[in-house]
Structure 1
Amino acid sequence: MHPFLNQLPSSSFLHALQDGGDKSRQGPRGPIQARGMAPSSRQESSPEEGLPTKWSRRWAMAGWALLTLLLLGLLLGSSVLWFYVFGNCGPPPCETPVCLHLLDYYLASGNSSVAPCNNFFNFACGEPGKTINSFHALEDENKRLLRRVLEAPGSWHPGSGEEKAFQFYGSCMDTDAIEAAGTGPLKQVIEELGGWNISGKWTFSDFNQTLALLMSQYGHFPFFRAYLRTHPSPPHAPVIQIDQPEFEVPLKQEQEQKIYAQIIREYLAYLQQLGTLLGGDPEKVQQHAFLSISITSRLFKYLRLLEQRQSQDKLFHVLTIEQLQEMAPAIDWLSCLQETFKPMSLSPSQALVIHDLDYLRNMSQLVQEEMLKHRDVLQSHMILGLVETLTPALDSKFREARRELSQKLQELTEQPLMPAHPRWKKCVEDTGAFFEPTLAALYVKEAFGPGTQRAAMKLFTEIKDALIARLKKLSWISEKSQKEAQDRVTQLQVKIGAPDWVLKPELARQEYQDIQFGPSFLQSVLSCVKSLRARNVQSFLQPSSHHRWQVSPWGVNAYYSISDHVVVFPAGLLQPPFFHAGYPRAVNFGATGSIMARELLHIFYQLLLPGGCPACDTHALQEALLCLEHHYDALLLPSRSSLNGSQTFLENAADVGGLAIALQAYSKRLLEYRGETTLPNQDLSPHRLFFRSYAQVMCREPNPQDIQDIHRPPSLRVNGPLSSIPAFARYFGCPHDALMNPSRRCQLW
């Protein structure tokens, strides 16, 4: 019998109810007698007097049966109603245009023939070789929006930032004018640098004067890089930093000897082609190109990978200009840096941050040797490198030579062939680099309204609250460290959308007064390069209490700044298919919410490093980290090589923790608020949609050649965190010991 039926009144109780009316009319002593004070003699009753008692019992049985039927009917009716409302209907589908577009995106990128419990990466991201890089796709869509803005007709205030940005983009797209100018503008630049022996005359210009011109006027650094950044250590003041140069040719350490020799031959042929296009004598071109390659090869030998410098505790050194001059005397450091970072006032006692001192010593010795033997070759080497960097501003012959080299290098290094970079995309990128304040304001106005910003901030607040709640339940963290961690989260600044200055158009109009567009597109580019460098220096010289954004508002990379204790989520990231105020909440929490949680966990990387949390339960922490490493090792497919989990454990921990925190915040949201929706015509409950949206963010093809990628392979960024969440296996009905439902899970965050 149903438990509720046990609470129904008994037949005797029904009898009492029927007789209750008479008893209520008895005298004051009547009830006392009924409870046991009976008369002294028993009175016999006639058969007629017994009839009411028999009929009462029959009515009691009938009442009992009637109430039972009524109750069963109510239970059956409520069950049917419950099934119809909640079991049959479920959350209503979102059929707005943005949701239907998202549905099409998911259908196009996934592979429904793969069982979700066997490999969710392939289920959500599609077949190998056909996977869309979600971040690249979003980045391209943001650039397309900027293109539409730049190509839309409009009238701008004369001399304003808007007018100059539109003029620059238009001249960049005017390839007919660039073709008509030919090599004339480039030859004029070479003459201003003192000429070279490949073609024309060489005036034997001073090496350091030429180097200073290349660095300050053309933004080209042939032997090292110099830039302004905040100091790596507190108080993180702006400081000039000297680092290794960036080379077009892949480093020798990454290639087999045979392949590296083929790469050098292709690069040599490319340099010869550049010299020939500039009218050089074929014999001199071949000689200078070969010696230029020799210089590059020798510089390669002095380079050390970041991991090597880190293991040797040589990430950076702090030296004065005077001390660096003694250690690397071939470069006139004071004059070169003074020209590059005008209007800074430098002196020999100026402190610098040096990222690879051994490289600079060896580079200086190489330059000294070449100045004694092949001074003209050093000039040719610097000019050939400049021509490479200026290729997008030159005519089609130079651009085609560069495209062919890139394609051959991709084939030799077995990288996937990249499609030709459309002209409009390069023009959008350069316009954005030179006129960022203007384009930032136009982009935010077009794609990131106040409603989107409020929705994004609300999502971040819920993610942050979930993290604080989770910190209180960690088994390995001490009470003191837990309190410090909560304070760190509370004190964190968050920047969402764009910097404050984006909404101040008067700044954009004042910033570009020094840009002068020349008769050729190349001259316009060089004027923009010079202006941009001066603006960057000026921004560092001005005292500011605000964080300097490291990404443009239309960028897609969120980041955490250690020096400013601020986390940044640009407007370009908070776009479909990652985020939209009209999406089902499962999408926003699964995609953008997990990104936000992961960036928040970057605050606590130090706690996971050896000795980073002395007051914590070290044994429990190490057990959790070791468990996480084994968890990822077990997910590697047989065809994949082993992955050293110790090299990526920080990012793995952030991925797993970020997903768990986002799921906790989403589950709380479902309990507190109604009105969740899902995508139509899909077998995706809200929680299934949450997990699918998380995976969609991570979709991309693996790139073994990218040694800087600490997240590879991408399948682990999907399968690793999802298989660590018991709720995933529960909502997808994964059988025990399936790939996505392991028998053992780890609890780190």
Structure 2
Amino acid sequence: MHSPSLPPPCPLLSPQGPLEEGLPTARSFPRTWTQWVLMVLLLLGLLVGFSVLCVYIFQNSGPYVLSCETPVCLDLLDRYLASGNTSVAPCSDFFSFVCGNANRTRNSFQALEEENKGRLRRILEAPSPWPPGSAEEKAFQFYRSCMDMDAIEAAGAGPLRQVIEELGGWRISGNWTSFDFNRTLRLLMSQYGHFPFFRANLQPLRTPLQTPIIQIDQPEFAVPLKQEQEQKIYAQMVREYLTYLNQLGTLLGGDPDKVQEHAALSISITSRLSQFLRPLEEQPEQMVTIAQLQEMAPAINWLSCLQATFTPMPLSPSLTLMVRDLEYLTNMSQLVGSLQLRHSEFLQSHMILGLVGTLSPALDSKFQKARQELNQKLQQLTGRQLMPQTPRWMKCVKETGTFFQPTLAALFVQEAFNLPTQRAAMELFSDIKDALLNRLQRLPWMNEKARKEAQDRVTRVRVKMGAPEWTLEPELVTQGYPEVQLGPSFLQLYLSCVRALQARKVRSFLQPFHSRRVFPWGVDAYYSVSDHVVVLSPGLLQPPFFHPGYPRAVNFGAAGSIMAHELLHIFYKLLLPGGCPDCDADALQGALLCVERHYAALSLPGETSFNRSGTILENAADIGGLAITLQAYHKRLLLQQRETTLPRLGLSPEQLFFRSYAQVMCGEPRLQDPRDPHSPPPLRIHGPISNTQDFATHFSCPEEALMNLSSRCELW
């Protein structure tokens, strides 16, 4: 008869005497029942009071917070302490607070990519008894040969002279007898990966089937000699380039007088070709057949050269090409045609000197030093920042990764992106995706039809992370790069890899549903419109952006904000004029105008310049990405009520969230490519954060502080 919540009656019984002695009499029963009722009411009161107290404590103190003292957290702490400048007030300049240490601000993405290459180095230098002839054995052998500078120095210029002989020789060495321009050009393109007068590559045509098409572009010159440059600088650049070409000819045993003459004519050819170049935005894109291009630029045997380069792709005169800047090609053809008639030996030397520059990474230190000195002097003349010398191991890791992508991709994923990491990353992405679906329900500029379509697109979007499909190419697993031959010299091995890579690229384009390849060790994230998939490279989901052992604030703030940003790329077209006919156009344009004004109110370092009008879509994705990620983080805290933070930083979990978000965006503010659709790093931090009330609340920012602007925008 008693309620289950009441205490058992056993304690009321006397330990002595028969059971009947503990039973109440008829007279005492009402009084005992009253006591029971009072006791129940007291317990209920205590329970309600305790619940109210718990709610109060949670609302005012947040989740239960512990300090993370694990090695991965302490390593992250050291990174944050080394990068920030705590003397700056976070409410006035959060970019400097997070990124502005006493040394030069580092680009976070570039720094992570360098760390990933360091991990590849450790993989390649680990002793592993791979089966002879296997894909792994060839990759490791290439890296060891690249690092064996003693053997490369001992071989000297001998392997390169052999290459020149295969191309027909040249007048500088005294053994040149005949010249077939198109034969040499065909060999350079197909066997050596060198394009002296134009570039040709395969691109997926913008169709549902991603049909491959050959694209012809302007060349990339080692020294762009354009006479509209300041005359003094132009003359200095010519002198430096002439010195470099003279060094190459001399290293190859050429007669100094002949070398000087041929180097000067090569510079003249480069200078004249450079005058034909136009800026990228002024290069019209045209579709022409090989036969039509042959008529307009007859000096090049287009069908022969392209067929050799893109074997086994079937070509014919009627095949359509995509050509950028046809005017350059016609001018180039006229120049080449006139040189063939009067200065054929100089044309041959020009092509060979360019090839030597292309092959310099595979040559001995004298060739590499000559190229390095040229680059440094050109950087000084053009006012560019001097780049530090790249260590040999990093060059070799880069080349090994380029030539043996599938093998190194599989090894990197196995080493750096194990199953627990993948599961944690997928859970994070799911949280971000759910938060976006939730926010779509209350966007004021979407009507119900547009909202349902948007939610359906988010629901159907897929995510790819981990080992890409192309790492499992069956012929490479079973045969181990059959085209790669381990030759007697590193240059021969290098050239064998160049040819194998070109053949592999062509084969991959001929496969159905060719898609963009991402190196797993690269720091990449993008949304593929054609596949409706968000791609996150394993190299991106590494410390300091992501780790299963990090505080959730770090993973959400860093990797989570990148995921949210890429998810919003699904809706880029909606933000364009007329892109969302089922939306409230006035409300949408008002929100976009608010974002534009918001960013215009933020200042930048004095020398920073960029195209503000071209960044509106990325700015909107930055603002929306932070808001979505913050909502997802709060929901996760409500579900689990436990969080960790980094010691000695003095930051709450919410403050750590914002710091981790900003850490991803660190970079040099003045090095902004005018074609980059993103704002400079300070604006990528200050724009979204100053638009977020939670930041001002958790950092106790005073009113009208730069990070606590009174007007805020809500687009997403």
Partners of 1:171 and 1:521 within 8 A in 2: yes
Matches within 5 A, 1:41-120: 87=61, 91-120=65-94
Structure 1 distance, partners of 2:131, 2:522, is 27
Q: Distance in 1 between matches of 2:567 and 2:158?
A: 53
State the shift of 1:657 in Å: 1.7
Shift of 1:133: 1.9
Deviation at 1:77, TM superposition (A): 13
Aligned residue in 1 for 2:243? 269
Give the 3 Å change call, closer, same or farther, for CA 436–508 of structure 1 in structure 2: farther
CA distance in 2, matches of 1:218, 1:679: 52
**Which residue in 1 is equivalent to 2:264?**
290
Please give the per-residue CA displacement for 1:100-137, whole angstroms capped at 9, x wherever unaligned: 11011100111111110111111001247521221111
> Are residues 1:124 and 2:124 paired?
no
Deviation at 1:522, TM superposition (A): 0.2
Change in 2 beyond 3 A, CA 1:629/1:129: farther
1:592-671 maps to which residues of 2 (within 5 A)? Answer: 592-637=559-604, 639-641=606-608, 643-671=610-638
Distance of 1:477 and 1:201 partners within structure 2: 75
Pair 1:468-2:437 in alignment: yes
8 Å contact from structure 1 (residues 702, 712) kept in 2: no
Q: Once the 2 structures are TM-superposed, how far is the Cα of residue 433 of structure 1 from its aligned partner?
A: 1.0
Distance 2:658 2:224 in 1: 38
1:56 corresponding residue in structure 2: none
Aligned to 2:14: none
Alpha-carbon deviation of 1:684? Answer: 1.3
Which residue of the partner structure matches residue 281 of structure 1?
255
Residue 241 of structure 1 corresponds to 215
Partner of 2:481: 512
3-state DSSP of counterpart to 1:353: strand
8 Å Cα contact 1:98-1:583 kept in structure 2: yes
**Alignment correspondent of 1:146:** 120
State the match for 2:274 in structure 1. 300
**TM-score between both structures, scaled by the size of structure 2:** 0.89
1:322 aligns with 2:262: no
Could you say which residue in structure 2 is the equivalent of 1:217?
191
Query: Alignment partner for residue 170 of structure 2, among 196, 212, 221?
Result: 196
Report which stretch shifted further, 267-276 or 577-586: 267-276
Compared CA separation, residues 514 and 641, structure 1 to 2 (3 A): closer
Q: Is residue 414 from structure 1 mapped to residue 383 from structure 2 by the alignment? A: yes
Question: Contact 1:178/1:520 (CA < 8 Å) preserved in 2?
Answer: yes
Alignment TM-score, normalising by the size of structure 1: 0.85
Evaluate the alpha carbon distance shift between residue 669 and residue 245 of structure 1 in structure 2; reply closer, same or farther with a 3 A threshold: same
Distance of 2:584 and 2:50 partners within structure 1: 54
- Name the counterpart of 1:571: 538
Query: Structure 1 pair 243/92, CA: closer, same or farther in 2 (3 Å)?
Result: same
| 1:588-618, Cα deviation, whole Å (9 max, x unpaired) | 1111111111112222222222333334333
Counterpart AA for 2:589 = Q
**Cα–Cα, structure 1 residues 281 and 532, in superposed 2: closer, same or farther, change >3 Å?**
same
Unaligned runs of 5+ in 1: 1-20, 26-62
Task: Return the offset for 1:265.
Answer: 3.0
Q: Cα offset for 1:251?
A: 7.5
Q: Contact 1:122/1:128 (CA < 8 Å) preserved in 2?
A: no
CA distance in 2, matches of 1:459, 1:251: 50
Give, as a single letter, the amino acid of the residue that structure 2 aligns with 1:577. P
Matched, 1:445 2:419: no
C-alpha deviation, 1:356, in angstroms: 2.6
Residue 685 in 1 paired to residue 652 in 2?
yes
Q: Which residue in the other structure is 2:329 paired with?
A: 360
Q: Say if 2:604 and 2:682, in contact at 8 Å, map to a contact too.
A: no
Q: Which residue of 2 aligns with 1:673?
A: 640
Question: 1:382 matched to which residue of 2?
Answer: 351
1:358 CA displacement:
2.6
Contact 2:224–2:271 under 8 Å retained in 1: no
CA distance in 2, matches of 1:562, 1:401: 44
Q: What aligned pairs does 1:384-399 form with structure 2 within 5 A after superposition?
A: 384-399=353-368
SS of match in other structure, 1:477: coil
Q: Does 1:435 align with 2:404?
A: yes
Q: C-alpha distance in 2, partners of 1:152/1:76? A: 59
String of CA shifts for 1:527-572, please: whole Å, max 9, x gaps: 11111111111122233x5x63422111111122223222211111
Give how far 1:654 is off: 1.8
Query: In structure 2, what is the Cα distance between the partners aligned to 1:458 and 1:189?
Result: 54
- Which residue number in structure 2 is paired with residue 166 of structure 1? 140
Match among 180, 186, 194 for residue 206 of structure 1? 180
Range 600-609 or range 181-190, more displaced: 600-609
The separation in 1 between residues aligned to 2:130 and 2:229, in whole angstroms, is 52
Partner of 1:47: none
SS of 1:676 mapped into structure 2: strand
State the distance in 2 between where 1:203 and 1:387 align. Answer: 21
Partners of 1:501 and 1:507 within 8 A in 2: no
CA distance in 1, matches of 2:297, 2:682: 46
8 Å Cα contact 2:133-2:480 kept in structure 1: no
Query: Contact 1:321/1:333 (CA < 8 Å) preserved in 2?
Result: yes
Report the CA distance between 1:263 and its aligned residue: 3.1
Deviation (angstroms), 1:250: 5.3
Query: What count of residue pairs does the alignment treat as equivalent?
Result: 679
Shift in alpha-carbon separation, 1:734–1:282, aligned structure 2, 3 A: same
Whether the aligned pair in 2 keeps the contact of 1:459 and 1:589 (CA below 8 Å) is yes
**Is the CA contact (8 Å cut-off) linking 1:325 and 1:333 kept in structure 2?**
yes
**1:571, 1:378 → 2: CA distance?**
46
Alignment RMSD (CA, Å): 2.9
- 2:706 aligned residue: 739
- Residues in 2 aligned to 1:233 and 1:302: alpha-carbon distance in whole angstroms: 32
Separation of aligned partners in 1, 2:423 and 2:86: 35
Give the alignment partner of residue 492 of structure 1, picking from 436, 444, 461: 461
1:476 Cα offset (Å):
2.5
Corresponding residue of 1:698:
665
Output the CA distance in 1 between the equivalents of 2:392 and 2:511.
36
- Give the equivalent residue in structure 2 for 1:542: 511
1:331 aligns with 2:311: no
Aligned to 2:200: 226
Q: State the Cα deviation string for residues 571-590 of structure 1 (Å, max 9, x = none).
A: 11110000001111111111
**AA matched with 1:697:** V
Displacement after TM superposition at 1:520 (Å): 0.8
Residues 111-170 of structure 1, C-alpha deviations (whole Å, 9 max, x = no match): 111110111111001247521221111111111111111111121111100111111111
In structure 1, what is the Cα distance between the partners aligned to 2:537 and 2:552?
20
Match of 1:92, SS state, is strand
* Contact 2:445 2:587 (8 Å CA) reproduced: yes
5+ residue gaps, structure 2, are 1-26, 32-37
Moved more, 323-332 or 476-485: 476-485
- Say which SS state the counterpart of residue 80 (structure 2) adopts: helix
Deviation (angstroms), 1:712: 4.6
Inter-partner Cα distance in structure 1 for 2:133 and 2:102? 50
Amino acid at match of 1:93: S
Q: Which has the larger radius of gyration?
A: 1
Give 3-state SS (helix, strand or coil) of 2:715's partner.
coil
Give the match for residue 448 of structure 2: 479
